[in-house]
Amino acid sequence: MSLSDLSATQAGEKISKGEITSEELVQACLERVEQVDGAIEAWSYLNSDYALDQARKLDIIRQDGGPIGPLHGIPAGIKDIIDTAHIPTELGTPIHAGRVPFKDAWVVSRLRQAGAVIMGKTVTTELATYSPGKTKNPHDPNRTPGGSSSGSAAAVSSNMVPIALGSQTNGSIIRPAAFCGVFGFKPSFGMIPRTGVLTQSVPLDQLGVFARTTEDVALLTQVLAGYDVTDPSTTLRTPPLLLSVAAEEPPMPPKIGFVKTPVWDRADVICREAHQELCETLGENIEEVELSPSFNHVFDHHKIVMEADIAYNYEKEYETGKDLLSDSLRGQIERGKSYTAVAYQKAIAQQAILDVTLEELFNEYDALLTPSVPGEAPVGLDNTGDPSFCTIWTFCGVPSLNIPIFVGENGMPIGTQLVGAKNDDARLLRTANCLLSRLNG
């Protein structure tokens, strides 16, 4: 077993006990990159000397008896829309080629404070939208890894790093996690500050994480959760105790609602049958729930908000580098410019209305279960797959977790998605652990 196969939690324990060094762990991850990344291309920037220098300095701190953080010596991948000081952050477009920020994003500062090694920058799609980057699926290089956090999902899936950061404005964490076969977690809206991250849509942009275990998901998210006065989506409150609560036994077996959503007809036969079998396995602990008709229009509301905001936030790129943008992104910007202020405000207003409906639902259920994606990752590298099973939960800002438990007819991963009540992320992770225990028991 290579050190690169270790989870962040496992590696952290070994580092804290002196059984391995951070330098040894980072070196193993770099060797793994050398072995597999030629076929996957998960990285937009990786400097081995820089990664090893961080690791050596962290090892000296531990050897000298200095305080160590919860991620001490652990390498992490950073999506290339998240600013890193003195390291290129090019946003997945030639328009920003050579862009090097002078300071870290809030989350990167948080990682460094926790002792993490900034391994490098992972590939994003063009400005975190739909036009693919160079990354291929680790399970089949002829298939998409999903997007827009394609490099982060692929890097974690192929054991190049144990953890990585991503973002989601529609399905950009859950979808690539499902296609690449890893855990992907999009916490509640506002849990993780977005300062220093590319702005696509202020009401929709959410940061999240990739990992190979739920324990690592909880650990990393707990490190990143917090308040930043410059991000109005965040709230000054005590961060949730994700790691300890997620590991607890619930007072009673969780009650789960199975939701097909209005796009159930997009799921392929294998995906439908897998979820039906899962429901049968869970038995009395799960029952089918039908969302109210008001959720049928979420896809239109989401499109108006996202595309109008893209038109606003990417105006400079459109004006100065229109010819360097993909047809897909140009189309989104041009449609976004056509929406009226009234249409935008009506769409935004639906978030609060749907929040009330979901609150009532989560008074009855600990979590909702629904597909992450319609099926296996599509063949071809010209698109990133269908995000529609993520749209409702992103629009409503509730936490969602991809759980990699299914395999399709071609041997590709298919995830299921567990959704929780807003700001009740710890209970969602605890429910996920209960579900996995039930399936593995």
Q: Which of the residues are catalytic? A: 79, 148, 172
What are the backbone angles phi and psi of residue 117, rounded to the nearest 5°? -95, 125
Which of 226, 150, 168 shows the shortest CA–CA distance to 384?
A: 150
**What are the residues facing 167 on neighbouring strands?**
207
**Is 413 in contact with 227 (CB distance < 8 Å)?**
no
CA torsion angle 63 69 75 77 (round to 10): -160
**Is 175 in contact with 130 (CB distance < 8 Å)?**
no
Radius of gyration of the chain (CA): 20
Sequence-ordered list of residues with C-beta below 8 angstroms from that of 195, at least 6 positions apart, any chain:
105, 106, 228, 230, 231
The backbone region for 196, taken as left when phi is positive above 0, alpha when psi lies in -120 to 50, beta otherwise, is left
